[in-house]
Amino acid sequence: MNYMKKDILDKIGFYYVLDKLSILTPYGRNLISHLQIIREKEKLLLEYDNIERCFSLINDAKLNSNISNTLMRFKDIRNTFIRCREGQVLDEVELYEIKCFVSLCFEFKDLYKKSKIDITEIFFHEFSEVYKLLNPLEYRSTDFYVYDEYSSKLKTIRLKKKEFNKTLFKEKDRIKQKQLLEQRQQLISEEREEEFKIRKALSLTISQYADKMIQQTLSIGNFDLIFAKAKIAAVYKMARPVISNRVKMDMGVNPMVKNKVEERGGIFSPVSIEALKGTTVITGANMGGKTVLLSIIALNYILASTGFFVFAKGFEFTLLDFVYFLSEDSESIKNGLSSFGGEIFNIKYILSRIKSERGLIILDEFAKGTNPTEGANITKALLQYLNKFDSICIMSTHYDGVCSFANFHYQVKGLRYVDFNELKNIAIKEEDYLKLINYHMDYTLEKVDRYTSIPRDAINICALMGIDEEIINIAKVLYEKEEEI
């Protein structure tokens, strides 16, 4: 997917989600590695419908397991189909694999019909002729060889070979045995020749189906992917996205972060936010989950636009031309730019795009790598400028006074209602600080006035984490002086 950089996709947990998908066929896995943004509203809605249609199947344990078992048996023999289309003569093993493929297609078709799911993209080509060709027997079988039934000549040769084998072992004279072996070799060549003729004829007929078989793998892969999307949606209780003219997330979750937080005994708090055209700024305490919030918006936005359900109770989004998540860029250092230089480089790119396109632009603490006075001013200027465009920009910042330049301002409630004097007295081990902060931090976002000032939680976090008291005391004096001014 070239929609977003790989390292960003990794950072926001997109690959984590893909890893959790239970894809069962090589064809489905192929689609996953070429996942595309769906840009047409109708197609997206149809994909959500398809996911919903699969829910009934997930609840039918027996049918679900039968379909899964069938899908799992599909092998990647697309190269065989291609070879066949090119007119090459297939060997016994390839013919066997095609027989398996068409048999599995029948099996899958039956199960699919039974499930009564109706997905437009799922179709079944008619392969009865292929099966009949590869099964000249009177009963159904799953094995294959160039059966005697294909040609009476072949059968005659083989019976001769059988007779020969018998006499060969009765003959004790080494020289005569050798002669017999040579004669036998002649028979083997005849058998091979006849088998080749048959394989050639079979391959020729099957080659007319090669394209259909390739298309069939796509159809099966499509089902596999939709089924996997439905399964993950059911497991994580994901929501169906709604297409509107804004980005509105209700109780959004990042499963990767949630998993990590819970692993260390913490609790993950879902977050809600609404962002319209123009700029929205998020402020709040350190460790208040601002970056995580931005990642949830980006993750859910990308999932929704690739036809997945989302990790939230509700998610509205508008179809845009691009998404850009800009955070401290490790790439820039590799390229010889400072982190600020890297940011500006990327902002230039974004600005060039928004002039002709609409995008979702997510900026994590823009300009934090430069001096605060200048950083704040540049940020203010950027916000004011971005408000002129149709794109949606969500930015987190620690800079004072920046919010007044944005259209909307959200603030993490943070540690606002915590009595620090009380907390300080609880003697705790170092590894518990994270838990303690997690416990007392209110990750909820509040829509606040544009002029609301930024909370002073950094010093509290320092105190909580047990930094030298002298530093805290000096800092407090400085804070007081600042207030006096």
Partner 1 sequence: MLEINARLRDFKLFIDKLYKYRTISIIGMEKNTGKTTTLNFLIQQLKGRKIGITSVGRDGEEEDIVTLTPKPKIYIDENTLIATSKSSFLRSDSTLKILQVMDINTPLGPVIIGESIYSGFVEIAGPSINTQIKAVIEKLKEFKCQHIIVDGALSKKSFADPSITEASILCTGAAFSEDVNVLVEDTLNVLNLFSLDAVKYNISKIYEDNMEDCRIAFIYGNNIKKSVLKTSISASKEIISNFNKDLDFVFIKGAFTNNLVDDMIKSNLNLKSVTFVVEDGTKLLLDKNRYTEFIYKGGKLKVKNNINIIGISVNPTSPSGYVLDYNEFFNRLKEKTDIPVFNVMDYALDVRK
- Residues in the interface with partner 1 (CB under 8 A) total 23
Is position 107 an interface residue for partner 1 (rule: CB under 8 A)? no
Helical spans, DSSP H, in 403-448: 420-424, 433-440
CB 317 within 8 A of CB 277: no
Which of 179/244 has CB closer to partner 1?
Answer: 179
Query: Which helix (H) or strand (E) segment is 301 a member of?
Result: helix 290-305
For partner 1, the closer of residues 96 and 124 by Cβ is 96
Residue whose C-alpha is closest to residue 146's, from 184, 182, 99: 99
Examine residue 143 and tell whether it contacts partner 1 (CB under 8 A). Answer: yes
Query: Among positive and negative, which fits the CA dihedral 459, 462, 466, 468?
Result: negative
Residues 185-244 that bind partner 1 (CB under 8 A): 188, 191
Nearer of residues 174 and 334 to partner 1, judged by Cβ: 174
Phi, psi torsion values for 400, nearest 5 degrees: -70, 145
Q: Nearest to residue 312, comparing CAs of 274, 360, 266, 284?
A: 274
**Shortest Å distance, C-beta 150 to partner 1:** 12
**CB closer to partner 1, 77 vs 249:** 77
- Give the residue, chosen from 123, 145, 385, 439, that forms a contact with partner 1 under the rule CB under 8 A: 145
Name residue 252's beta-bridge partners: 271
Q: How far is the CB of 104 from partner 1 (least distance, A)?
A: 13
Q: Which is nearer to partner 1, 62 or 172 (CB)?
A: 172
Phi/psi for 143 (5° steps) reads: -90, 175
- How far apart are CB 94 and partner 1 at their closest, in Å? 10
The residues in 165-194 that bind partner 1, with binding defined as CB under 8 A, are 165, 168-169, 174, 177-178, 181, 188, 191
CB 101 within 8 A of CB 74: yes
Task: Please say which residue, 203 or 397, places its beta carbon nearer to partner 1.
Answer: 203
Least distance in angstroms from the C-beta of 92 to partner 1: 6
Task: Work out how close the CB of 69 gets to partner 1 at its nearest, in angstroms, rounded to a whole number.
Answer: 15
Q: Please choose, out of 33-41, 111-119, 157-165, 322-330, the segment that lies near partner 1 by the rule CB under 8 A.
A: 157-165
The single residue among 52, 93, 116, 129 that binds partner 1, judged by CB under 8 A, is 93
DSSP state letter for 310? B
Residues 358-387 within binding reach of partner 1 (CB under 8 A): none
Where do the H-state alpha helices sit in 21-60?
A: 26-33, 41-59
DSSP 403: G
Q: In this structure, which amino acid lies at residue 458? A: A
Interaction of residue 97 with partner 1, rule CB under 8 A: yes
3-state secondary structure of 141: coil
Least Cβ distance, residue 21 to partner 1 (angstroms): 21
Closest CA to 444 of 416, 417, 413, 408: 413
Q: Give yes or no for a contact between 312 and 30, defined as CB atoms under 8 angstroms apart.
A: no
Rounded to a whole number of angstroms, the minimum distance from the CB of residue 169 to partner 1 is 5
Q: What is the spatial distance between Cα 415 and Cα 422, in angstroms, rounded to a whole number?
A: 13
Least separation in angstroms between residue 398's CB and partner 1 is 47
Nearer to partner 1, 76 or 129 (CB): 76
For partner 1, the binding residue among 41, 75, 264, 447 (CB under 8 A) is: 75
Among 5, 153, 161, 440, binds partner 1 (CB under 8 A): 161
Question: For residue 444, what is the enclosing H or E element?
Answer: strand 442-448
140 binds partner 1 (CB under 8 A): no
| Whether 230 contacts 37, CB under 8 Å | no
What is the DSSP pairing of strand 278-283 with strand 271-275?
unpaired
Binds partner 1 (CB under 8 A): choice among 131, 144, 236, 322: 144
Residue number with CB closer to partner 1 (173 or 482): 173
In terms of CB distance, is 134 or 297 closer to partner 1? Answer: 134
Q: Which stretch binds partner 1 (CB under 8 A): 21-29, 90-98, 296-304, 356-364?
A: 90-98
Q: Which stretch binds partner 1 (CB under 8 A): 19-27, 57-65, 93-101, 369-377?
A: 93-101
Residues 6+ apart with CB under 8 A from 295: 11, 12, 13, 254, 257, 325
In this complex, which beta carbon is closest to partner 1, that of residue 137 or of residue 204? 137
Query: How many residues in total does the chain contain?
Result: 485
Facing residues of 448 across strands? 409
> 181 or 471: whose CB is closer to partner 1?
181
DSSP 312: S
Report residue 161 as tokens. 């070979």
Residues that bind partner 1 (CB under 8 A): 75, 91-93, 96-97, 100, 143-145, 148, 158, 161-162, 165, 168-169, 174, 177-178, 181, 188, 191
